Amino acid sequence: MSHPAPSREPERLKDPVDKAAAGLIPVVREGFRAAWPICLGYFPIGLAFGVLAQKAGIGPLGVGLMSFLVFAGSAQFIAVSMLAQTAALTSIVLTTFLVNLRHLLMSSALSVYLRHSSWRFLCLFSHGITDESFAVNMTQFREGNWSRSEALTVNLVSHAAWVGSTILGAYGGQFIPAGAFGIDYALPAMFLCLLVFQLRGRLYAVTAVLSGALAVILALLIPGNTHIMLAAILAASLGFALRRSRIGGRKR
């Protein structure tokens, strides 16, 4: 995955230069065009997050600061719900780490297209790697007509949309009664769709169901939120073993 074909190198070096010569405005426009579905998806989720956070006693400033610094929807929802259950600070941070560990793989996959980028660019760009921006940028990079400036625009635009909508939710939260507009279902619905994005074959579906079943059993046995990480690690390992045993079986 990290070894690019040498023949592709000149193409990639040339690409950003051409885009830069074309001017900043078309680049930003392309970025916006690719980012708007993400913003559309973020808006109700961001609002919902702001509302929930406000109900958990976090003000608009705290919400905005968290969205700006963390920028990870699912982890932020979990953190707020754990906060409402007065979970320990360390267990919230540990859960965040495990929930967001998946970005490790996304970052690795994106690195193939971000060779020869400056240290400053990578520091800025990597903060914006989310499930959604990753999905959009990888698709565009694979199609070959995508520069790092456009990819960065996607990340920055979706980041701004996330921060903005969560702050808005925190302000409007007090005017929205609990459970209104089915807002409590924004997160489960987003997770269902993100799960669908990850289902790229039968093994992935088996792993998901396995992990879900394990999580239900573990959640009944252990209080707290450790069941999520335990189930995910167990199920991924079982899925991995299953994949390896199938490959081995085929060879024999």
Partner 1 sequence: MITTQYLLMILGMCLVTYIPRCFPVSFLAQRQLPEWLIEWLDLIPVAIFGALIFPDLFLVGEPRHLELLQPKMLVALPTFLFALRTRSLGGTVLIGMFLYWLAGKIL
Site for partner 1 in 168-227 (CB under 8 A): 179, 181-186, 188-199, 203-205, 207-216, 219-220, 223, 227
56 near partner 1 (CB under 8 A):
no
Fill in the per-residue mask, 233 to 252: x = in contact with partner 1 (CB under 8 A), - = not in contact.
x-xxx-xx--xx--------
- Asked if 133 contacts 38 with a C-beta cutoff of 8 angstroms, the reply is yes
Count other C-beta atoms under 10 Å from residue 3's C-beta: 6
Q: Of 103-122, which residues contact partner 1 (CB under 8 A)?
A: 103-108, 110-112, 114-115, 119, 122
Q: Among residues 14 and 246, whose Cβ is nearest to partner 1?
A: 246
For the CB of residue 22, give the shortest distance to partner 1 in the complex, in Å: 25
Per 3-state DSSP, the chain is made up of helix, strand and coil in percentages (nearest 5) of 80, 0, 20
> Residue 173 CB, nearest distance to partner 1 (Å)?
16
* Shorter beta-carbon distance to partner 1: residue 70 or 160: 70
Q: Which is nearer to partner 1, 26 or 59 (CB)?
A: 59
CB of 152 to partner 1, least distance (A): 12
Whether the Cβ atoms of residue 143 and residue 15 lie closer than 8 Å to each other: no
**Residues 6 or more apart in contact with residue 1 via CB below 8 angstroms:** 108, 109, 112
Among 75, 156, 157, 168, binds partner 1 (CB under 8 A): 75
**Residue 16 and residue 117 in contact, taking contact as beta carbons nearer than 8 Å:** no
Per-residue DSSP letter, 57: T
**70, 178, 250, 251: residue in contact with partner 1 (rule CB under 8 A):** 70
- Alpha-carbon distance of 181 to 175, in angstroms, equals 12
Q: What is the spatial distance between Cα 47 and Cα 172, in angstroms, rounded to a whole number?
A: 8
